[in-house]
Amino acid sequence: MLISFPIYSPEEEIKDPLFSKKNVRVYFKRDDKIHPFISGNKWRKLKYNLIDAQQRNINHLVTFGGAWSNHLLATAAAAASFGFTSTGFVRGEDIDNAVLSMCRLFGMDLQFVDRQSYKEKRNLFLTHFNDRESLFLDEGGKSKLGMQGCMELLDELEQDYDHIFVASGTGTTVAGIAAGITQYGLKTQVETIPVLKSADFLLDEFTSFGVDPAHIKLHLDYHFGGYAKTKPDLLLFIKEFVSKTGIMLEPTYTGKLVFGVYDLIMKDYFKPNSKILVIHTGGLTGYLGYLEQFNRLATI
């Protein structure tokens, strides 16, 4: 089966009195509209890995993630869509939740492993699978082929921007965008909001991808305690933003990203007349892991 489907990812300008006051224009690249489950940068990072697997006659995908991993779900859905089988190694204790249930529905075999064993993902893969018959997909889709898919985002843009913002986990998406900016000779400043605490390690990751870290601006103050951590002010921001714009966010990636952009606008980080593009990387099923916390907001 051909590894392809049309990408629908429009650019939409977001209006807010704050933007008018600070004389900036903010646009969203709606990668969340690419696919309901293989959404956003997940599709971009999987695309060339799947093509590679198909060309090498590999029919089984093996990947890794936490219990609420959007990447696990995207891989499971992609496998079902394009004729692969799949296995997902899940970090931590054997549990069930809505995301893992959907992974199973798409046919993914889930294997729960302790956190120490999970750190040795490549060894875990080689212990259970033949690398000529199964494809190793790192956590979050981290790979140079994944970066290649993310570079293509620049080919779709309808106009030039002064700043492009994206959230970072593994750094693959922002590295791809930065590589594309360099390749096309654009003057756009690439900026990222890491969702992990102490994310300076991303500088080494960018180098490993062949991207000069000097071309990417890191904003390290919007992790809210670390990966998958949150605080009431972030949840309240998300609730207000979604109710005013109709654009869904979740607290792990996109919520922190948009919170950071708003905060930087309030702090006059941008020059007047700046055009800012925010990459909405999808993964909205991650919201399900925070239902209890959002429900508590109603009682505050």
User: Does the CA dihedral 259-265-269-273 come out positive or negative?
Assistant: positive
Residues 6+ apart with CB under 8 A from 228: 66, 68, 251, 252, 289
- Please write down the long-range contacts of 180-189, taking CB distance under 8 Å and 24 or more positions apart: 180/150, 180/151, 180/152, 180/153, 180/154, 181/154, 181/215, 182/211, 182/212, 182/215, 183/151, 184/154, 186/154, 186/160, 188/160, 188/161, 188/162, 188/163, 188/164, 189/162, 189/163, 189/164, 189/217
Contact assessment for residue 75 and residue 39, using Cβ atoms and an 8 Å cutoff? no
Identify the active-site residue in 69, 134, 168, 274. Answer: 69
208 is catalytic: no
* Residue 143, C-beta contacts closer than 8 angstroms, at least 6 positions apart: 45, 49, 137, 172
Beta bridge partners of 109: 87
The answer to whether residues 77 and 106 touch, using CB atoms and an 8 Å cutoff, is: yes
- How far apart CA 104 and CA 102 sit, in angstroms, is 5
Active site residues: 69
